[in-house]
Amino acid sequence: MRNRNTLIGLIIVIVVLLGLITWKLITNEQDQLKANAELPQTDNASTLAINTPQPTAPAVEASPIPTITPLPAPDVYPEATVEEQQAYTAEYAMKAPADPPTIEWTRDKDAVFRLDSDPRIIRTTIFMPLVKRDEEITIFFQNAMDRKSVEDKIKEMSQSNHWYRVYPKLLMHWSSDTELHIKVLASKVDTLPNLSDRFYIDVSGSKRQDGYSINRHLFVGSLVEPSQIWQAAIDLSSLSKISDFVESYDIEKLDLEGKYYLLNRKVNSCYECDAQPVKYLSLYDSTKQKKTDYPFEIQLTTNYRGSGNFRVDKRGFFYEVPKAVGVKAPVNDPIIEFNLTDFVHGAAFTRDAESIILITGPQDATAETKLTIRWIDLTTRKETVLKEVVSGGIPQSQVDDTRFPISFIDDGTDVYFALYDYQKDEYIRYRLNWKSQQLTNWTLTVPPDKWRGFESSDDGKYRLYTNYALYRHQENEDQLLKLYEELGLLGSVWIPQSHDFLGISRIGAGKELTSYGSIVRVNADTMQQTNYANTALLNPRIVMISKDGKTVYLTAKDAL
């Protein structure tokens, strides 16, 4: 009896502890959501808590942060009116019938979602940012479905009632028992400012006509405002928008003149997991304001890893020559095609964009494999080869076995890169001198957990270590001058042919944040700061500065 009472007591203690842990997790999640609501979203991958900068120019008027009140969830899923549904049915009837996509069905693949505004995006599960506009989504099912079961499941109310979830009206049209078209009236839903409100289309557990419940298949659209590209004078005395995107993209500059940009529509193929997002890529020409979509099979990149049969586009990117039948890149691309015997473990453009540098070797290279460094002049095609001179493990994901491309930092005098020692669990860092072609090991100046790369001033005297600190470059060890926390900046970029750089100021921190960010110019010699007029842009990010130092290119949401 005593043992039984002891066992019952232990069970009660465990139940109480589990209850406390669950309560704490829920509380933390709610606190995090509230904190996110109080801070504007940023394009930067990582941010720092920073102090108020001390500008030498008069402080600009801060843009107030809007007060955010959570929206209550409806009691039942909003129903479209009869007129709205009839209009959609008539609209669909006017469309020319389209051939269904080729889908490789498997036992666990019961349904596939397609975003009709970008038919490249077709997956079993989709979690992606979308602009607040009406979207059409087609669901293809492997087997004939119970239509009522599917519709009831889609309109099932969330039990968690997260306040960032929204419930837009849904118009539905079945063209067959295996094909459902949905129009999401997202433009008419109330959303919270500067947050990513989400709508869900979940068919998990809905029934086939034979009574079988299908696997988990989910579409989550996160409603955001799209970032645009802006061109401004270096002192922000003039400002103009050079894009008008109606989709949400991650934006990466390509060339040195601010003409070409790589647009990335990131799609998570599983919900709330650690898998790398899938990329749907486009090229944007800002002078023509023209966007060119590339097939999903052609993955454009500024840091290439893949077979030796690849192409270099002089506008600033690489891609592997497509092997799939019928997959072609857009015509008239200014490309150079290479067909190397070795596998390419990393390739990138040099600082002046006139050459490419590569590290090549066997595809199954191990830590003991000797790899080759080579660089190729894109005009003369002259190739310089340092054969089998470096060894080390290829950088790899901590989540799975995915290998990353070896990346390079070129300061004009030396180029820096790193392999990995998996036994010591540390990077092996190399430095190659362009002039002498001498390869040496390099010791990191900044703490390893702060390393995100660096950008050098044109003369190499100073270095901005990404989102960490400003250093004076010295041969043996760089000298720390100012932490970003002390400067009160994020995302700084050097102005060419000078010791000045531009950064985004963050005025205040946490709940006392009072500005979305203005542009600050800092002189590395004197540490003098000049605070330029507020850009009136939401979460600006400096992309690049023209070679003559007169024009700055930014990405930001539309002006407030």
- Please state the separation of Cα 164 from the chain's center in Å: 21
What's the pLDDT band for 551 if we cut at 50, 70, 90? very high
Does residue 377 or residue 333 have the better pLDDT?
377
Predicted pLDDT of residue 22: 45
Question: For 447-473, what is the mean pLDDT?
Answer: 93
Does residue 454 or residue 538 have the better pLDDT?
454
Each residue of 456-481: b (16+ CB within 10 Å) or e? Answer: bbbeeebbbbbbbbbbebeeeebeeb
- Distances in Å between the Cα of 172 and the Cα atoms of 68, 76, 128, 209, 400 are 32, 17, 21, 19, 39
Residue with tokens 């390393």: 451
Residue 472 confidence (pLDDT) above 90: yes
What's the pLDDT band for 140 if we cut at 50, 70, 90? very high
Instruction: Please name every residue paired with 111 in a beta bridge, in sequence order, or none if there are none.
Output: 141
Residue 401 confidence (pLDDT) above 70: yes
Predicted pLDDT of residue 73: 73
Question: Do 225 and 516 contact (CB within 8 A), yes or no?
Answer: no
- Quick one: which of 235, 288, 222 has its CA closest to 259? 288
Picking from 315-319, 428-432, 485-489, which range would have the lowest pLDDT averaged per residue?
485-489
Residue 513 confidence (pLDDT) above 90: no
Give the global pTM. 0.84
Does residue 335 or residue 44 have the better pLDDT?
335
Give the pairing of strands 126-131 and 218-224: parallel
Predicted pLDDT of residue 64: 47
Residue with tokens 């269904």: 100
The average confidence (pLDDT) of the chain is 84
- Quick one: which of 320, 305, 311 has its CA closest to 404? 305
Amino acid at 447: P
Question: Do 184 and 134 contact (CB within 8 A), yes or no?
Answer: yes
Residue 15 phi, psi dihedral angles, 5° rounding: -60, -45
Report the C-alpha gap between 380 and 355 in whole angstroms. 10
Burial of 217 (0-12, 13-18, 19+ CB in 10 A): buried
Domains in the chain, please, with CATH?
A: 133-224 (2.60.40), 228-556 (2.120.10)
First vs last Cα of the chain: how many Å apart? Answer: 72
- Quick one: which of 101, 111, 91 has its CA closest to 154? 111
Neighbour count for residue 411 (Cβ, 10 Å): 19
What's the pLDDT band for 51 if we cut at 50, 70, 90? very low
Q: What is Dmax (Cα atoms) for the chain? A: 90
Question: For 96-124, what is the mean pLDDT?
Answer: 92
Query: Any long-range contacts for 422-427 (C-beta under 8 Å, 24+ apart)?
Result: 422/367, 422/393, 423/367
Predicted pLDDT of residue 57: 35
Report the C-alpha gap between 536 and 514 in whole angstroms. 13
Cβ neighbours of residue 387 closer than 8 Å, sequence gap 6 or more? 372
Give the pairing of strands 290-293 and 541-545: unpaired
